[in-house]
Chains A and B, each alone.
Chain A
Amino acid sequence: EAQVTQNPRYLITVTGKKLTVTCSQNMNHEYMSWYRQDPGLGLRQIYYSMNVEVTDKGDVPEGYKVSRKEKRNFPLILESPSPNQTSLYFCASSSNSGTGGRGYTFGSGTRLTVV
């Protein structure tokens, strides 16, 4: 089954303790992206990657890091989490080819709480 898999689904952590949220896709997609979803703010892009070893900042990159060493994986790293990073996070992937008519496939989300 074609899918984007995020782990973990739920995570509670303490301020300053480094964490990684994993994202993996099995569709050979070139493009991958991370979003955070907050009430009243909708979805905001954190980072995206057009292909292996190519990453770029989205709208809200502060406090986050990413890497794209393999095509299928795109982990999100919080080096020193703070309470304002408490949010619902989504990973998404898409093919780069053809027109812009290709939508994204989303993971099921990771609910992160930083205390």
Chain B
Amino acid sequence: GDSVTQMEGPVTLSEEAFLTINCTYTATGYPSLFWYVQYPGEGLQLLLKATKADDKGSNKGFEATYRKETTSFHLEKGSVQVSDSAVYFCALRDSGYSTLTFGKGTMLLVSP
């Protein structure tokens, strides 16, 4: 079945540092890939997505590129802010199916 593996956290960074959160996946079809963000006490919000190989999703300074050859969708940001502190979830939605499969989430803590 489909699965998503994320790096375990927490990831602790200083403000303005470079961020990478690794995500790899296993899927039977041609999935769409997503990153969701959960701020403390809130629900999940869609951060960015990519629907086919080599697509790059981007939003709020975050980027991720759909790499079919390495089955990866790593999240990056060039300069993090304290307000980026949150839990980040990688997810996939396989073609022809509606269920979204999530990774376990990675907590990011950014200090001033």
Contacts and interface: CB of A to CB of B under 8 A. Distances in A.
Q: Do A and B originate from a single complex?
A: yes
B43 A100 contact: no
Nearest to A91: B43
A90 interface: yes
A43 B89 contact: yes
A100 B97 contact: yes
Interface in A80-115: 90, 92, 94, 96, 99-109
B49 A103 contact: yes
Contacts of B31: 100
Interface residues of A, number: 26
Nearest to A108: B43
Contact of B96 (A92, A100, A103, A104): A100
A109 B43 CA distance: 6
Secondary structure class of chain B's binding surface, majority of residues: loop
Interface string A63-88: 00000000000000000000000000
Given A99-B32, A100-B31, A103-B34, A42 B103 contact: yes
Contact of B51 (A40, A48, A90, A101): A101
A55 interface: no
Contact of A100 (B46, B51, B102, B105): B51
Contacts of A94: 98, 100
Interface of B: 31-32, 34, 36, 42-46, 49, 51, 89, 93-100, 102-105
20 contacts: A33-B100, A35-B102, A41-B104, A42-B102, A42-B104, A42-B105, A43-B102, A43-B105, A48-B98, A50-B98, A92-B100, A96-B98, A101-B32, A103-B46, A103-B49, A103-B93, A104-B46, A105-B46, A106-B45, A109-B43
Interface of A: 31, 33, 35, 40-43, 45, 48, 50, 58, 90, 92, 94, 96, 99-109
8 smallest beta-carbon distances between A and B, as pairs: A42-B104, A101-B51, A100-B93, A106-B43, A100-B32, A101-B32, A103-B46, A43-B102
